[in-house]
Structure 1
Amino acid sequence: MIVGYCQNTADLNPRAVISWMRPGSLAILLAVIPAAAMPGPLDEPHLNIIPRTVSEQVRIDKILSPPADFSVAQPFEEMPAGAATVRARDTADAFSQPSANMPFADELDFKVGNGLFRKLWVSSPSSTLASDGLGPLFNARSCQRCHLKDGRGHPPEGPDDNAISMFLRVSIPGGDPGAMAEIADYIATAPEPTYGTQLQDFSLPGHAAEYRLQIEYEDVTVALSDGEVATLRRPTYTAADLGYGPLHDEAMLSPRVAPQMIGLGLLEAIPAADILAHTDPNDDDGDGISGRANIVWSAEFDMPMLGRFGLKAGAPTVRHQSAGAFAGDIGISNPLFTDPWGECTSRQSDCRAAPHGDRDDRVYEIDGEGLDLVTFYSRNLAVPARRDVDDRQVLRGKELFHATGCASCHVPSYVTHRLEDQPEQSFQLIWPYTDLLLHDMGDGLADHRPEARATGREWRTPPLWGIGLTEQVSGHSYFLHDGRARSLLEAILWHGGEAQATRDAVIDMPAGDRAALIRFLESL
């Protein structure tokens, strides 16, 4: 058994992980990076890690063992973010609180980061020199416009609603496979020649928006046990009113709703080795679950890294994810994505030639300091405390969650790295209910658009913490990557592929057990 985590993972002997990793996990380490660069997926250069001791690892193994008694709550279960957990508020601000263990000296950074997250960007040139650079094509004028109250976005509700917290990613097959030769099973794609990698539905005056998102739903009924019936809605997406000509014949579109923002720094602090320990690409243990790691190229460190963030785990760090959103969603240049015109392609020449916020006295529209402050804010949006952990129905639902196999992908708990300079995330027992891995979710949820190693049928397991507060925070109960599910039950019923057996078990269980399972999820 490995007894510590090396800060320099080049010193880690991959053979030492055989005894403690899930079957097939070592194969991931051997496959995703060539031997000369082994073990690349474990590299975490963005973290200042203090290795664990032998006694700490023993304690961790004990506390993370699966529950044996479902008549009582587990120790510390009511604190999903460890010492960073905040009390559960009954307002829409429940997701907008700083980590409870944040040092007082850092609270100003959190508040300034919040200001930048909420800032409304304006077009160039402008007298507000610190806020110009918007677009010219964009999906929103601020981070907050998509992640309203730091919560979950939603698809447009009727003809009078816009898609400000939802957009379509786009790409075409092909690209340069040699560019990612270091990553095994990488699926090469290329930006759509005219529209880039995502479609923007807003634009500055004088520029056409790229499209209008059009969604049509078809009702699908599902018969449940005890005479109950659920109605799902199957969406069809159309990029209507294209502003720059037709899409490429092989364009692949993928709908994305903005996810909630809580707990991101804690997810980033989970040891990569602990995530890879749950991989089983060949289902060697025969449980039907074949979690795979997405290995992506880091724009921050110019190397392959474990993907953790985004609906297909396409970003390795919170800073990378934040920088990508500034560039793609708002059209704001930054140290990682430097184009001042954002997503405008070479075919959109007027867009590229328009005024922008990069000037002699300002290299990027948001500089490194500003990006770091937004990253700090995003890392430290706190997870609210669990509710009703001792309730009998909640405990029954938790037992069913484990018995039906939900916990195979929605792994309940981890202990984060011990970190030198991030006290909020350092050595915390957390309960995010995710493995951060890719899983085949079946034809029903397939978008048929690859992303790095993720196929068109695979999605990252989303964290479940805070999911019971979605309606309170976001004003709706829409779930899954595109918001098609209008309830937690509908979200479960859309599960297929690796989760088909679990879905069928939920359909067949007595109605009272289904209610208990939903009650447990609502307590998270």
Structure 2
Amino acid sequence: MRCSSKSGPRRLWPLLAILGAGGALAEPPTLSDLHLSVVPRTESEAGRVAGVVAPTDDFSAPEQFEANPGGGATVRARSDADAYSLPSGNISFEGELDFKVGNGLFRKLWVSSPSSTQASDGLGPLYNSRGCQNCHLKDGRGHPPDAPGEPGGSMFLRLSVPAPGDAARTRIEEYLLKAGMDFIPSRPDPVYGGQLQDLSVAGIPAEGRMVIDYAETEVALSGGESASLRAPVYRIDNPGYGPLRDDLMTSPRVAPQMIGLGLLEAVPAADILAGADPDDADGDGISGRPQIAWSMRYGAPMLGRFGWKAGNPTIEEQSASAFAGDVGISNPLKPAPAGECTDAQIACINAPHGADDARGDEIDAEGMDFVTFYSQNLAVPARRDMDDPQVLRGKEVFYGTGCTACHRPKFVTARLEDQPEQSFQLIWPYSDMLLHDMGEGLADNRPEGVADGREWRTAPLWGIGLTEQVNGHTLFLHDGRARSLLEAVLWHGGEARPARDAVVSMPPEDRAALIRFIESL
């Protein structure tokens, strides 16, 4: 049986030294936890935590506290579409009021400028959605367009081009060079920017339309069973600002579910880094790497946690980037009122905007604080059927097949002085928060930070079994290509190829139990 526990990785010593740990692997990289008001763990407490998060080898019954994957912040699993939309179970009355204000801003539909509703104007001029909830449907998972020719809606394409050899280095690139970390420099497309925006306000051309074509491939499974995988091919039709570059790199992204983000943000960086093994020093075939992102808030490198390639270090910065890129709304961390418009998009830059009134930015600091608080406190639903014999067998298969090498079951969050909802909670996200090579089949061939074109952050699995109930579909992976959990498993390659092959060849009843376990999360 493989587990995700690793010894101190050799290639991370420059990272730890620069981040303030003085090269001592036992000490946390304090700079990476700038977003947390952490009360340091005592030696005794650290020992207790290590024992609690150790993987189990007893599958005869559920583990203690397994019913509450979000710790004290867990909420009862609802049977309707609001299962992802509840506040932390341990939130205060005052906190719930702030949560509701944040929810209102998250659901707000923005309008173009000028408008009589100045509190809601500033949309675009180029955008992918009019509001956060339009992509994160019911705080859940987005999906590809329902039919050819429809706008992307809750899915878009990231864009970039290789950085010229004489390009000035960014701050994060300078840092990565000093830290001795590998990366492939790239830049947003000089005309189309960092993502394709398929919608626009009146009078401004949209950037183009994402088109997806699928090819089906049959996969033979043990016991005479089979599955069909659909491989997507992406193209951009009707480019609105001239021909696309031959070296344009694209990456499809479906909006992920929002639950448990504050708890993931509260995991000490040292606990995540302790699971990294970039050189596969233990020889188990798993080589998780940390993403390093530049913090707009702190002006410093931090551990990347959020996004499909962990490109943002905090929920606030993930939210700020989404407001600017997806909706075209300026905010204190991304103050450009024209959103992601480039210098080549003159009409877009010169269009009216909503940043010239009393708010300053189109969403101000107070509004961003409410949205961040809301996103931090979307609760994880309680487990279902975890004592069912088939679920317990599926859990044993999950562990025995090696899935926990990347989908790490448990963490304990930091003790936090100002976030009681997330403070010192035993959580079960089933993610190590690291980047892994997922093989050529899932590769987007577009680097991001230290992630190459085959690497993705391990997606948390908590709540995944409620996707159909909340969102009305069972489309998974970063681009929604998988139409079931089994298809998602069968797309795993690279480091996960041995586990995937084991699923193909195992007895059908074990394969069914494995899927049943994942559905119970």
Query: TM-score, normalised to structure 1's length?
Result: 0.94
Correspondence for 1:387 among 379, 384, 387: 384
Residue in structure 2 matched with residue 252 of structure 1 by the alignment? 249
Structure 1: runs of 5 or more not aligned: 1-19
Residue in structure 2 matched with residue 45 of structure 1 by the alignment? 34
Residue in structure 1 matched with residue 143 of structure 2 by the alignment? 154
Q: Deviations over 1:396-429 (max 9, x none)?
A: 0000101111000000000000000101000000
**Which SS does the other structure have where 1:233 is aligned?**
strand
Determine the C-alpha separation between the residues in 2 that align with 1:32 and 1:248. Answer: 39
Correspondence for 1:182 among 143, 159, 175: 175
Please say if 1:169 is aligned against 2:163.
Answer: no
Q: Following superposition of structure 1 onto structure 2, how do residues 462-473 of structure 1 map, counting pairs within 5 Å?
A: 462-473=459-470
**Which SS does the other structure have where 2:175 is aligned?**
coil
Residue in structure 1 matched with residue 117 of structure 2 by the alignment? 128
Contact 2:148 2:211 in 1 (8 A): no
Correspondence for 1:307 among 297, 304, 308: 304
Deviation at 1:186, TM superposition (A): 3.2
Deviation at 1:383, TM superposition (A): 0.3
Please say if 1:335 is aligned against 2:332.
Answer: yes
Determine the C-alpha separation between the residues in 2 that align with 1:38 and 1:62. Answer: 26
Alignment CA distance shift 1:277-1:36 (3 Å): closer
Correspondence for 2:406 among 387, 409, 413: 409
Correspondence for 2:96 among 87, 91, 107: 107
Divergent runs of 4+, >6 A: none
Correspondence for 1:420 among 413, 417, 421: 417
Residue in structure 2 matched with residue 66 of structure 1 by the alignment? 55
Contact 1:442 1:498 in 2 (8 A): yes
Moved more, 458-467 or 56-65: 56-65
Please say if 1:517 is aligned against 2:514.
Answer: yes
Contact 1:272 1:306 in 2 (8 A): yes
Correspondence for 1:92 among 68, 75, 81: 81
Contact 2:409 2:430 in 1 (8 A): yes
Contact 2:20 2:31 in 1 (8 A): no
Contact 1:192 1:247 in 2 (8 A): no
Determine the C-alpha separation between the residues in 1 that align with 2:74 and 2:294. Answer: 32
Correspondence for 1:458 among 452, 455, 458: 455
**Which SS does the other structure have where 1:43 is aligned?**
helix
Q: Deviations over 1:441-481 (max 9, x none)?
A: 00000000000000000000000000000000011000000
Please say if 1:317 is aligned against 2:317.
Answer: no
Contact 2:9 2:281 in 1 (8 A): no
**Which SS does the other structure have where 2:233 is aligned?**
strand
Determine the C-alpha separation between the residues in 2 that align with 1:29 and 1:119. Answer: 45
Determine the C-alpha separation between the residues in 2 that align with 1:252 and 1:444. Answer: 16
Percent of matched pairs sharing the same residue = 64
Moved more, 432-441 or 151-160: 151-160
Structure 2: runs of 5 or more not aligned: 24-28
Determine the C-alpha separation between the residues in 2 that align with 1:162 and 1:231. Answer: 26
Pairwise CA RMSD of aligned residues? Answer: 1.6
Determine the C-alpha separation between the residues in 2 that align with 1:348 and 1:513. Answer: 55
Determine the C-alpha separation between the residues in 1 that align with 2:250 and 2:8. Answer: 32
Deviation at 1:157, TM superposition (A): 1.9
Deviation at 1:58, TM superposition (A): 2.2
**Which SS does the other structure have where 1:352 is aligned?**
helix
**Which SS does the other structure have where 1:215 is aligned?**
strand
Alignment CA distance shift 1:516-1:36 (3 Å): closer
Give aligned pairs, total.
505
Residue in structure 2 matched with residue 351 of structure 1 by the alignment? 348
Please say if 1:28 is aligned against 2:12.
Answer: yes
Deviation at 1:360, TM superposition (A): 5.1
Contact 2:20 2:30 in 1 (8 A): no
Determine the C-alpha separation between the residues in 2 that align with 1:35 and 1:273. Answer: 11
Residue in structure 2 matched with residue 441 of structure 1 by the alignment? 438
Determine the C-alpha separation between the residues in 1 that align with 2:305 and 2:287. Answer: 17
Deviation at 1:52, TM superposition (A): 1.4
Contact 1:478 1:485 in 2 (8 A): yes
Determine the C-alpha separation between the residues in 2 that align with 1:37 and 1:53. Answer: 17
Correspondence for 2:240 among 230, 239, 243: 243
Q: Deviations over 1:266-301 (max 9, x none)?
A: 000001000001000000101000000001111111
Correspondence for 1:116 among 77, 83, 105: 105
Q: Deviations over 1:175-211 (max 9, x none)?
A: 5336321113232111101000000010001011111
Correspondence for 2:200 among 188, 200, 203: 203
**Which SS does the other structure have where 2:206 is aligned?**
coil
Alignment CA distance shift 1:33-1:449 (3 Å): farther
Q: Deviations over 1:301-329 (max 9, x none)?
A: 11000000000000000000000000000
Deviation at 1:35, TM superposition (A): 8.1
**Which SS does the other structure have where 1:483 is aligned?**
coil
Determine the C-alpha separation between the residues in 2 that align with 1:436 and 1:61. Answer: 17
Deviation at 1:32, TM superposition (A): 7.4
Determine the C-alpha separation between the residues in 2 that align with 1:282 and 1:426. Answer: 33
Alignment CA distance shift 1:148-1:41 (3 Å): same
Contact 1:193 1:347 in 2 (8 A): yes
Alignment CA distance shift 1:262-1:428 (3 Å): same
Determine the C-alpha separation between the residues in 1 that align with 2:363 and 2:384. Answer: 39
Query: Counterpart amino acid of 1:181?
Result: E
**Which SS does the other structure have where 1:114 is aligned?**
helix
Alignment CA distance shift 1:384-1:158 (3 Å): same
Query: Counterpart amino acid of 2:69?
Result: P
Contact 2:127 2:197 in 1 (8 A): yes
Deviation at 1:27, TM superposition (A): 2.5
Deviation at 1:163, TM superposition (A): 1.4
Alignment CA distance shift 1:21-1:218 (3 Å): closer
Residue in structure 1 matched with residue 26 of structure 2 by the alignment? none
Alignment CA distance shift 1:360-1:149 (3 Å): closer
Residue in structure 2 matched with residue 9 of structure 1 by the alignment? none
Contact 2:183 2:452 in 1 (8 A): no
Alignment CA distance shift 1:139-1:106 (3 Å): same
Determine the C-alpha separation between the residues in 1 that align with 2:331 and 2:439. Answer: 37
Determine the C-alpha separation between the residues in 2 that align with 1:191 and 1:476. Answer: 32
Please say if 1:500 is aligned against 2:459.
Answer: no
Contact 1:28 1:293 in 2 (8 A): no
Deviation at 1:60, TM superposition (A): 1.1
Deviation at 1:146, TM superposition (A): 0.1
Q: Deviations over 1:21-65 (max 9, x none)?
A: 823525214257658885757521111111112332222112111
Determine the C-alpha separation between the residues in 2 that align with 1:33 and 1:243. Answer: 47
Determine the C-alpha separation between the residues in 1 that align with 2:102 and 2:15. Answer: 39
**Which SS does the other structure have where 1:499 is aligned?**
helix
Q: Deviations over 1:69-97 (max 9, x none)?
A: 11111000010000000000000000000
Contact 1:114 1:374 in 2 (8 A): yes
Contact 2:19 2:32 in 1 (8 A): no
Contact 2:475 2:481 in 1 (8 A): yes
